[in-house]
Amino acid sequence: MARPLLSVVAPAFNEGDVLDEFHERLTGVLDDVPLDAEVVYVNDGSTDETAAILERLAASDPRVAVLELSRQFGKERALTAGIDYARGDAVVVLDADLQDPPELIPELVAPWREEGFEIVYAVRVRRAGESLLRRVTAALFYRVIRRVSRVDIPRNTGDFRLLSRRAVDELKRLRERHRFMKGLFAWVGFAQKPVPYHREPRSAGHSKWNYWRLWNFALTGITSFTIAPLKIATYLGLLIALLAFVYALVIVYKTLVWGNPVAGYPSLMTVILFLGGVQLMTMGVMGEYLGRMFEEVKQRPLYVVKSYRPAREKMPDRAADQE
């Protein structure tokens, strides 16, 4: 009987400085894993030598498949594209910057093969190479989203994980445009197991995630998996309306008892600016959700493929769900 096929999906955007080292370490691991393997690299519109390096790797290693997108669609969609084209009985997703060590792959494979877990995810015990602000904001984000979301999203967990073919097939049915993959991985359910590891600094290059992108990514995660901001806006509006009603009763009482003195300009402006700020904030929250609905109803494809070079090594015949 043919051995199970393990697919490794690695999205890459301007990772030319580290791809050779990443592939060397990855293939060293795959050579020792008792499974057939393919490596699906997704070039997410890189502008450096990433495309040339991937073509060279594909020419020298028959296990390498290269999926090139027509432009940069972002890591979440590039990751989706790689999962769509992966043909394995299990799929491992990880970044190509070597912060996620390929050497952990056997520890992800073992619970899937020996214990029947459908998803095995890597949990960051240590986040080396990240600033204190980055670690604090990440911890705060996970605390918030775990509290407001109905989906149990594991803390300190990135995209590095193994998914069974069953989990992959269910994940491929979720085609929403604003993608928060950590939440989608958790949403599909099934038996899941954590594996702790120490996350290392980038081997080369620099992170593409600045604080502005991280902020927008956090908004995507929160708005994709909870309507709590809308509920907060509703409750805040009710609270402000109640306080305004009480304040109006106080003004009426003071007018009846002490007359109608000239209203103070500072207090008037304070109330106006406060109420105006609350209204604009709640309108912004509704606008975020409305904008996401606008993107969804257009039904544009998640990505556009420029070219696809499959692995040359004989693989099981699986039809890729392409979009």
Angle 101-106-110 (CA atoms, 0-180°, nearest 5)?
Answer: 140
pLDDT in tens, the chain (323 residues): 568 889 999 998 888 888 888 898 998 888 888 888 899 999 988 888 888 899 888 888 888 999 999 888 888 888 899 999 988 889 999 888 888 888 889 989 888 888 888 899 888 877 665 666 666 766 676 676 667 667 777 777 778 889 999 999 988 888 887 777 877 888 888 888 888 887 776 555 555 555 556 666 566 666 666 666 766 777 777 777 677 767 766 766 666 666 656 556 556 656 676 777 677 777 777 777 777 777 777 777 888 888 888 887 655 554 444 44
Query: Which residues partner with 69 through β-bridges?
Result: 305
Could you tell me which residues come within 8 angstroms of residue 167 by beta carbon, excluding any fewer than 6 positions away? 118, 119, 188, 190
For residues 200 and 100, what is the distance between their CA atoms, to the nearest angstrom? Answer: 7
Q: Where are the domains of the chain?
A: 5-210+301-309, 228-298
pTM of the predicted protein model? 0.69
pLDDT score at 204 = 52
Query: Which residues partner with 200 through β-bridges?
Result: none
Give which of 27, 30, 29, 168 is closest to 89, Cα–Cα.
168
3-state SS track over 149-168: CCCCCCCCEEEEEEEEHHHH
Residue type present at position 233:
A
Query: Which residues partner with 123 through β-bridges?
Result: 157, 196
pLDDT score at 223 = 62
pLDDT score at 9 = 92
Is domain 5-210+301-309 classified as CATH 3.90.550.10? yes
Residue type present at position 12:
A
Q: Is residue 66 a contact partner of residue 37, using CB atoms and an 8 Å limit?
A: no
pLDDT score at 92 = 92
How many other C-beta atoms are found inside a 10 Å radius of the C-beta of residue 242? 10
Give which of 100, 82, 80 is closest to 179, Cα–Cα.
80
pLDDT score at 279 = 74
